[in-house]
Amino acid sequence: MYWNEQKECMSRDELESLQKKRLIKTVETAFHNVPHYRRVFQAMGIEPYEMRDEKDLQKLPFCQKQDLRDNYPYDMFAVAMQEVVRIHSSSGTTGKPTVVGYTRKDINTWSELMARSLMSAGIQRQDVIQNAYGYGLFTGGLGIHYGAEKIGASIIPISGGNTNRQLMIMKDYGSTAITCTPSYALYLAESIEENGIHLKDLKLKVGIFGAEPWSENMRKEIEQRLNLKAIDIYGLSEIIGPGVAVECQEQNGLHVMEDHFFMEIIDPDTGEVLPEGEKGELVFTSLTKEALPIIRYRTGDITSILPGSCACGRSFRRIGRIEGRSDDMLIIRGVNVFPSQIEHALLQMGEVEPHYQLVVYRQGQLDMLEVQVEISESILFDEVRSLEELSNKIRSNIESILGISVKIKLVEPKTIPRSEGKAKRVIDRRGQ
């Protein structure tokens, strides 16, 4: 099922020539209308008319979140404020938020990409979408909303939180699709079980989950506990919001909307562009955006471009599931550790709850990693021996994947905080 077959399935040749044309125009516009780009290009002695193809793009400097912060709030905009019809921003953990703007055409583009994404996930006009992504400055809520209205589905703009009301609406309004973060999906599943709601009384058939990293095992867990098909959706405010890439029914990689975004994978240390199949940091250049054209934006997200074509017929290339952000990556005693690796190891065992948190601290000069895992209600706390066995088993599983020693702390059911939006997996106490 396609929303726009002509675009989503165009030939690679056609796509590549469209990309080239749009790339040249974007660089030119950015140079002429955004002082930041003009400054950095000129500092490197680059003139926009020298830009002929994607090889030339590699000569241009990267753009980083810090550049948006330095130009806070509106100095990266390429149009006058009277052309801007929407502003979103992402809070981030440190410093000023990142502010992004959209012209009317940008909103139309975004709605088109979200319409494609919803159809790709298997949603149609007759569906009832319970949209539990936050409405507000976060792009999740309104992004999904506009796409849903475009395809003509019925959208329930419930936003995040208020779990009891979510359950009531899910049941009474007959939601066939749920959209939220994977961690909130799991919390909803848990609450459904606790409230004695039977899955047969729900009509859910598909969930569109994203905005944070999640593992393949987490997908299985959510699919089983909510009895639906779980589709991964990716995006970031700086590029447009959700809808930059999405899975299709094959659930094997996320198709990047390549007619609107040009992607590169780079070595995060050297900045060198890596070939297809190699893992690195995802970098995007927008191809059609008016208010906030963005050139070689370093997402911080680690993935690779999957080789080969997809059985769904879309010509857009796929990226693998995002493994984590380079700034979420923990370096423990010199070893790179992503929370998603630990999630994978934990869920593979099937004996613990998919709720975990990582605490990093320093003992003397040594970095220590403590993995806090919830045990399920069925394991009795007084069975000391079996708890010890479980803890040893978890430890050896994780250690064999990471190659470093870790400490396991089993905690009582429901003690790790549940999230209604993006989950906080890591508590790093090393700086304290």
Give min distance, CB of 63 to ligand DLL, in A: 14
List the one residue out of 63, 146, 70, 137 whose CA is nearest residue 101: 137
210 binds ligand DLL (CB under 6 A): yes
142 binds ligand DLL (CB under 6 A): no
* CB burial of residue 94 (10 Å; 0-12, 13-18, 19+): exposed
Give min distance, CB of 91 to ligand DLL, in A: 8
**DSSP strand E in 268-339: where?**
280-286, 297-303, 305-306, 318-319, 324-325, 330-332, 335-337
C-beta separation of 295 from 23 below 8 A:
no
Give min distance, CB of 161 to ligand DLL, in A: 15
325 binds ligand DLL (CB under 6 A): yes
Among 234, 284, 297, 316, binds ligand DLL (CB under 6 A): 234
List beta partners, residue 273.
266
Give min distance, CB of 51 to ligand DLL, in A: 26
* Nearer of residues 213 and 293 to ligand DLL, judged by Cβ: 213
Among 237, 285, 304, 357, binds ligand DLL (CB under 6 A): 237
285 binds ligand DLL (CB under 6 A): no
The stretch among 55-63, 66-74, 237-245, 342-350 that binds ligand DLL (CB under 6 A) is: 237-245
Position closest to ligand DLL via CB: 210
* CB burial of residue 37 (10 Å; 0-12, 13-18, 19+): buried
List beta partners, residue 331.
336
233 binds ligand DLL (CB under 6 A): yes
C-beta separation of 145 from 157 below 8 A:
yes
265 binds ligand DLL (CB under 6 A): no
131 binds ligand DLL (CB under 6 A): no
List beta partners, residue 99.
89
The stretch among 41-49, 137-145, 158-166, 410-418 that binds ligand DLL (CB under 6 A) is: 137-145
Among 160, 242, 253, 280, binds ligand DLL (CB under 6 A): 242
Q: Is the peptide bond before 339 cis (omega within 30 degrees of 0)?
A: no
420 binds ligand DLL (CB under 6 A): no
Give min distance, CB of 272 to ligand DLL, in A: 21
101 binds ligand DLL (CB under 6 A): no
From CA 223, how far away is CA 217, in angstroms rounded?
10
343 binds ligand DLL (CB under 6 A): no
235 binds ligand DLL (CB under 6 A): yes
From CA 395, how far away is CA 388, in angstroms rounded?
10
Q: Helices in 44-160 by DSSP H: which ranges? A: 54-57, 65-70, 104-120, 139-151
Tally of helices (H runs) and strands (E runs) in the chain: 12, 21
Give min distance, CB of 299 to ligand DLL, in A: 5
354 binds ligand DLL (CB under 6 A): no
List the one residue out of 88, 222, 69 whose CA is nearest residue 146: 88
List the x/- string, 212-231, binding to ligand DLL by CB under 6 A: xx------------------
The stretch among 50-58, 166-174, 236-244, 263-271 that binds ligand DLL (CB under 6 A) is: 236-244
From CA 290, how far away is CA 155, in angstroms rounded?
28
By CB under 6 A, how many residues form the interface with ligand DLL? 21
Give, as one character, the DSSP assignment of residue 327: T
Among 221, 232, 290, 353, binds ligand DLL (CB under 6 A): 232
